A = this chain, B = another copy of it.
């Protein structure tokens, strides 16, 4: 059963969310479960770990039918990076393979967005974003010569949420809905 670990996460997190929870409680428990999921890199099916030569890939792994949470694998080809963007919901990032560079952006008095703290995520590490604290960042593959993969969990169906990318020099937002690249998701019982 390759997907046993992924099933374990989905099952535990679904049970946890079945009770009404506050965001801080969700982030603490979610980070604990996600850290345990990414502490070993032996479970992600190859078709959800495949980089694309041109764009970073976001593969849906699981979404709650009532959209209480979703999980994706983010697959970075060498040197790939996101635009500066927000999420409009909490998000957890668990590093599975390779490393990524996470840069937070902060709104300035003139409306522009300035890069602030950066963090390099190594395998097994977990980070988060949230509209309640900081929601705007840019993420890049730390490597210019290898694939990196992180597992993200969001407080909604991330592929369907209307959110924003920003031109940091002006701060101008552009609405976007990311969608998903994959027609199929893992069978958790295989």
Indicate whether A66 reaches chain B with its CB closer than 8 angstroms: yes
Chain B residues, CB < 8 A from A189: 60, 63, 157, 159-160, 180
User: Complex: how many Å from CA A183 to CA B1?
Assistant: 10
How many copies of the shown chain assemble into the complex? 2
Indicate whether A185 reaches chain B with its CB closer than 8 angstroms: yes
Indicate whether A7 reaches chain B with its CB closer than 8 angstroms: yes
Indicate whether A39 reaches chain B with its CB closer than 8 angstroms: no
Is A188 in contact with B63, judged by CB distance below 8 angstroms? yes
User: Complex: how many Å from CA A7 to CA B189?
Assistant: 19
A178 to chain B, nearest CB (A): 11
Is A190 in contact with B186, judged by CB distance below 8 angstroms? no
Is B190 in contact with A180, judged by CB distance below 8 angstroms? yes
Indicate whether A40 reaches chain B with its CB closer than 8 angstroms: no
Is A184 in contact with B65, judged by CB distance below 8 angstroms? no
Q: What is the total number of residues of chain A having a CB less than 8 Å from a CB of chain B?
A: 26
Q: Which of B60, B66, B183, B186 contacts A183 (CB 8 A)?
A: B186
Indicate whether A144 reaches chain B with its CB closer than 8 angstroms: no
A24 to chain B, nearest CB (A): 24
User: Complex: how many Å from CA A157 to CA B189?
Assistant: 9
Task: In the complex, identify which listed stretch (A10-18, A26-34, A96-104, A146-154) lies at the interface while the others stay far away.
Answer: A10-18
Chain B residues, CB < 8 A from A190: 180, 182-183
Q: Which of B11, B60, B182 contacts A65 (CB 8 A)?
A: B11
Chain A interface (Cβ < 8 Å from any Cβ of B): 7, 10-11, 14-15, 18, 45, 47, 60, 62-63, 65-66, 157, 159-160, 180, 182-190
